Amino acid sequence: MTPRLTALRADHLPDAVRQSAALGWPYREADWRFAFDLGGGFAAEADGRLVATAMWWPYGEAHGSVGMIIVDPAMQGRGLGRALMEKLLHEAGNRTVFLNSTQEGLPLYTQLGFVACGQVFQHQAALPPEAALPAALSHLRPMQPADGESLRRLDRAATGMDRTALLDALLAAGTTMVVDRGAGVSAYASAREFGHGVVIGPVVASGASSAADSRDLIAALAGRFRGRFVRIDVTEGSGLSPWLIRTGLPCVGHAVPMVRDVQRRTTDAGPVADALADALAGAHPRLFALSNQSFG
């Protein structure tokens, strides 16, 4: 069988669900559809069967994210992953591109010019009904329509990217809470249906109390889903991993954030890595938890 590369199409998505499930990835068809509607990608077919996928999402004209990179185990070792990545990077042009890599993917992505910068910790479990979560706090409230621009500004400052389309879709798809002490929104967190249950993220907070605010927001959202499967992917610089374990969400794995900046790749990872470094150094606003590992 000689695989044929083609644009990823909507009619590929049912097969993409089966392909990701075979690898133990929990994506529902609704999750694939959500990703597909926001971005684009490529697929490999062999004998009319989907055997590989790769997707990317543009964040304005300067940045983008890559994910959903899957190659059927029977087709691995034929260069399909590299071929799909090269097509994605060609389409992304001069954008700074980031991804979250498994250990197995590190050699390929390094060869393609990506630079590793930190870790992301994956926490998940069916949250116990008796999970120790704080009561409602006066500085937390549900997001209101008028908060949209404040959230976009916070997200842009925390990530260094214009993720307006992604953020609008996430806010429309789930539940979002904000921190507001009377001087405007200083933090936000979202939760939505995803995979086996619910994913919490993104979580962005600013100011001297950003770490505490991020914990309060996560606890408030998680409290709505006691007894359900909850997942959250937190950045290394967030410091949230030990607290999540105590809350009842164990760490089940990690990914390696990587950045490819065509303007600066010979010396460092570029502007997105600078934003990640700022987060590690405690600058504000900060990205505490990802939307998921594909979107960032």
pLDDT for the residue 65: 97
Collapsing DSSP states into helix, strand and coil, what is residue 288? strand
Average pLDDT over all residues of the chain: 90
Comparing 86-90, 113-117, 221-225, 257-261, the range with the smallest average pLDDT is 221-225
Domains of the chain: 4-93 (3.40.630.30), 122-289 (3.40.630.90)
Residue 97 per-residue DSSP state: E
On the question of pLDDT at 2 being above 90, the answer is: no
For the chain, the C-alpha Rg in angstroms (whole number) is: 19
How much is the pTM? 0.90
User: Across residues 32-44, what is the average pLDDT?
Assistant: 96
Check: CB of residue 189 under 8 Å from CB of residue 177: yes
pLDDT for the residue 136: 62
Buried b (16+ CB within 10 A) or exposed e, 85-113: bebbbeebeebbbbbbbeeebeeebeebb
Residue with more model confidence, 2 or 267:
2
Share of the chain above pLDDT 90, in %: 78
pLDDT for the residue 127: 82
On the question of pLDDT at 281 being above 60, the answer is: no
Check: CB of residue 259 under 8 Å from CB of residue 273: yes
Comparing 5-14, 86-95, 222-231, 282-291, the range with the smallest average pLDDT is 282-291
On the question of pLDDT at 276 being above 70, the answer is: no
pLDDT for the residue 137: 79
pLDDT for the residue 159: 94
Task: Write the pLDDT tens digit of every residue in 113-162.
Answer: 999 999 999 999 998 776 666 656 789 999 999 999 999 999 999 999 99
pLDDT for the residue 161: 95
User: Across residues 276-286, what is the average pLDDT?
Assistant: 57
pLDDT for the residue 253: 95
pLDDT for the residue 264: 62
